[in-house]
Amino acid sequence: MKAIAIDDEPLALEVVRSLAAKLPFLELQACFTDAFAATEYLQRVPVDLLLLDINMPDISGLELVRSLPRKPLVIFTTAHSEHAITGFELDAVDYLLKPFSLARFAKACNKAQELLRLQGAAAPAKEYLFLKTGYEQVKVVFDDILYLEAAGNYVTFVLPGKRLLSRITLNEALELLPANKFARVHRSFVVAKDKIDTIERHQVRIQGHYVPVAASYSQEWPLT
């Protein structure tokens, strides 16, 4: 289960990092003291779980969750109990009051893992999407997509021998695609992982097409 932690107190993040390291099923990918940096990360890298403080400067954890277009599971970690009801209204998995023990932390994370398993069992993966191109809705099978290229509010879906242009942003397109099959490698490009033929320092080759790779998206690598 992939997770990130967000808390404006570095010491609190160290506690979460230490506890997470003791749970073999939990992969803590990143920790943030800046909620806006965390939000930018979530736009590029899908995660299963947020370990999220509520009382933070600039934006609260509650406001952050409400702002996310694609919401992962959430466990709130806070020193204040007055937001508990609101937290559960946002469908939080659990609400941990600081300081919390390893046993309490593990209980919350186990609950999140079970919910994630049930979600996967209840919703078999789609194998296609319907893409609006002009006045038509065109069926696009995920396994046929080579890569996506964005230009402003338009995205071109590149398939073998075919290019489909749709009025959609790249972030919106990513929400339609299975995260395990696609990776964002550049501000304007998303690639199908299993279609990559060669990986070079600043680009990948996919069936004769060269797609640039930006260093700022290095969290997506390796593409497995």
pLDDT in tens, 118-147: 876 655 667 888 898 888 889 999 999 999
CB-based contacts of 106: which residues, under 8 Å, 6+ apart? Answer: 19, 22, 23
Do 11 and 70 sit in the same domain of this protein?
A: yes
Res 89: pLDDT: 57
Backbone angles phi, psi at 151, to 5 degrees: -145, 100
- The tokens 């609400």 sit on which residue? 95
The CATH number of residue 190's host domain is 2.40.50.1020
- The tokens 């497995």 sit on which residue? 224
Do 72 and 167 sit in the same domain of this protein?
A: no
Spatial contact of 55 and 79, defined as CB atoms under 8 Å apart: yes
Res 31: pLDDT: 96
Number of domains comprising the chain: 2
Closest CA to 32 of 10, 59, 65, 57: 10
Do 59 and 170 sit in the same domain of this protein?
A: no
Instruction: Report helix, strand and coil shares of the chain as percent, to nearest 5.
Output: 35, 35, 35
Do 101 and 21 sit in the same domain of this protein?
A: yes
Final residue belonging to a domain, choices 102, 122, 142: 122
Res 88: pLDDT: 53
Please give the residue range of the domain that contains residue 148. Answer: 128-220
Res 216: pLDDT: 80
What is the pTM for the complete model shown? 0.55
Is the predicted pLDDT of residue 223 greater than 60, yes or no? no
Average pLDDT, the chain: 87
Res 117: pLDDT: 86
Mean pLDDT over 185-197 rounds to 94
Do 34 and 82 sit in the same domain of this protein?
A: yes
Between CA 172 and CA 46 the distance in angstroms is 13
DSSP class of residue 125? P
- Cα 106 to the center of its chain, rounded Å: 22
Closest CA to 206 of 158, 156, 169: 158
Is the predicted pLDDT of residue 90 greater than 80, yes or no? no
Res 150: pLDDT: 96
Do 55 and 100 sit in the same domain of this protein?
A: yes
The CATH number of residue 118's host domain is 3.40.50.2300
Do 24 and 95 sit in the same domain of this protein?
A: yes
Res 28: pLDDT: 96
Do 114 and 11 sit in the same domain of this protein?
A: yes
Res 121: pLDDT: 65
Mean pLDDT over 82-92 rounds to 60
Spatial contact of 196 and 206, defined as CB atoms under 8 Å apart: yes
Spatial contact of 78 and 61, defined as CB atoms under 8 Å apart: yes
Is the predicted pLDDT of residue 212 greater than 90, yes or no? yes
Structure-token pair, residue 64: 């952050």
Final residue belonging to a domain, choices 122, 148, 181: 122
Res 59: pLDDT: 83
The larger pLDDT score, comparing residue 52 to residue 217, is at 52
Spatial contact of 203 and 210, defined as CB atoms under 8 Å apart: yes
Do 111 and 139 sit in the same domain of this protein?
A: no
Q: Which residues pair with 73 in a beta bridge?
A: 49
The larger pLDDT score, comparing residue 117 to residue 22, is at 22
Final residue belonging to a domain, choices 122, 157, 180: 122
C-alpha dihedral, 3 to 92 to 52 to 172, nearest 10°: 60
Do 89 and 35 sit in the same domain of this protein?
A: yes
Spatial contact of 145 and 192, defined as CB atoms under 8 Å apart: yes
